[in-house]
Amino acid sequence: NAGVTQTPKFQVLKTGQSMTLQCAQDMNHEYMSWYRQDPGMGLRLIHYSVGAGITDQGEVPNGYNVSRSTTEDFPLRLLSAAPSQTSVYFCASSYDGGGEKLFFGSGTQLSVL
Amino acid sequence: GEDVEQSLFLSVREGDSSVINCTYTDSSSTYLYWYKQEPGAGLQLLTYIFSNMDMKQDQRLTVLLNKKDKHLSLRIADTQTGDSAIYFCACGSSNTGKLIFGQGTTLQVKP
């Protein structure tokens, strides 16, 4: 049982480059979300999805796009990376949206130079 | 927007009790959580409490909720070196998986 899998674990980008952070879960969870973690700021919600075909913005959505074409996958796209997007990114999923069942991936550490 | 505040650092000696505090602004929060993050890892749910409760105990962990003051605390009894980590308080008010996190409290346990 893999749980929530994020790839890659580490990535270095140059300003202006684009990339996609992958997130997959094998628990048939309806709810998936992306957070970024910055020192001294806790985790902030970027985008979330309550089911396939449905996405919505979180607290800090600018500069990021998401899609949810399948229940399993919830990729996060950076269209034109900026140094302000240097952060650790966490994907999370849950069966019913309740935080008591929120499972986190191990994170992607992204540096934008 | 809604806010969750925590102190950034706590240092205790092994065997002592640790108390990590959290305040929040969203009075409609129905779930309040404590997560633990070890170095290089994701967040692990430690415990949670519903807003209609004022205390929850789970082995060495005790969560206290004061809804009037919007104050949440996590007490770890007999703190061990393995408890050294960052502890996050989080609040949620709907079944969307949307949580508001505090900044995290780094717990340092000295032998």
Q: pLDDT for B71-88, tens place per residue?
A: 999 999 999 999 999 999
- pLDDT for position B19: 97
Both tokens assigned to A90: 């966490």
Instruction: State the Cα angle at A14 between A8 and A20, rounded to 5°.
Output: 35
What does the alpha-carbon distance between residue B67 and residue B6 come to, in Å, rounded to a whole number? Answer: 16
Do the Cβ atoms of B70 and B54 come closer than 8 Å?
no
- pLDDT for position B74: 97
Inter-chain residue contact B95 with A96, CB threshold 8 Å: yes
A3 touching chain B per CB within 8 A: no
Give the distance from residue B80's alpha carbon to the nearest chain A alpha carbon, in angstroms.
24
- pLDDT for position B42: 84
**Mean pLDDT in chain B?**
90
- pLDDT for position B96: 58
What does the alpha-carbon distance between residue B108 and residue A7 come to, in Å, rounded to a whole number? Answer: 30
What does the alpha-carbon distance between residue B12 and residue B37 come to, in Å, rounded to a whole number? Answer: 18
Is the Cα torsion angle A5, A73, B35, A98 positive or negative in sign?
Answer: negative
Inter-chain residue contact B92 with A40, CB threshold 8 Å: no
**Mean pLDDT in chain A?**
92
What does the alpha-carbon distance between residue B14 and residue B96 come to, in Å, rounded to a whole number? Answer: 38
Mean pLDDT throughout B22-32? 85
- Using CB atoms and an 8 Å cut-off, which of residues 25-44 of chain A contact chain B? 31-33, 35, 40-44
pLDDT exceeds cutoff 80 at B65: yes
Q: What are the backbone angles phi and psi of residue B103, rounded to the nearest 5°? A: -75, -15
Inter-chain residue contact A48 with B96, CB threshold 8 Å: yes
pLDDT exceeds cutoff 80 at B27: no
pLDDT exceeds cutoff 90 at B98: no
A7 touching chain B per CB within 8 A: no
* Confidence bin at B99 (pLDDT 50/70/90): confident
Nearest CA in chain A to B41: A106
Chain segment A42-71, per-residue pLDDT in tens? 899 999 998 999 999 998 999 999 999 999
Give the distance from residue A22's alpha carbon to the nearest chain B alpha carbon, in angstroms.
15
Counting DSSP H helices and E strands in chain A, the numbers are 0, 11
A96 touching chain B per CB within 8 A: yes
pLDDT exceeds cutoff 80 at B93: no
Both tokens assigned to A29: 């969870």
Pairing of β B31-37 and β B43-50: antiparallel
What does the alpha-carbon distance between residue B4 and residue B89 come to, in Å, rounded to a whole number? Answer: 8
pLDDT exceeds cutoff 90 at A6: yes
Inter-chain residue contact B33 with A59, CB threshold 8 Å: no
What does the alpha-carbon distance between residue A93 and residue A97 come to, in Å, rounded to a whole number? Answer: 8
Closest of A111, A112, A102 to residue A48, by C-alpha: A102
Inter-chain residue contact B99 with A99, CB threshold 8 Å: yes
The string of DSSP codes covering B39-92 is TTS-EEEEEEEETT-SEEEETTEEEEEETTTTEEEEEESS--GGG-EEEEEEEE
Chain segment B33-56, per-residue pLDDT in tens? 999 999 888 888 899 888 888 999
Inter-chain residue contact A43 with B33, CB threshold 8 Å: no
- pLDDT for position A1: 60
Give the distance from residue A95's alpha carbon to the nearest chain B alpha carbon, in angstroms.
9
What does the alpha-carbon distance between residue B14 and residue B36 come to, in Å, rounded to a whole number? Answer: 18
Nearest CA in chain B to A93: B97
Pairing of β B105-110 and β B9-13: parallel
Beta bridge partners of A66: A76
What does the alpha-carbon distance between residue A49 and residue A92 come to, in Å, rounded to a whole number? Answer: 10
Q: Which of A31, A33, A98 sits opposite B31 (nearest CB)?
A: A98
- pLDDT for position A98: 62
Nearest CA in chain B to A102: B97
Is the Cα torsion angle B22, B103, A37, B41 positive or negative in sign?
Answer: negative
pLDDT exceeds cutoff 70 at B97: no
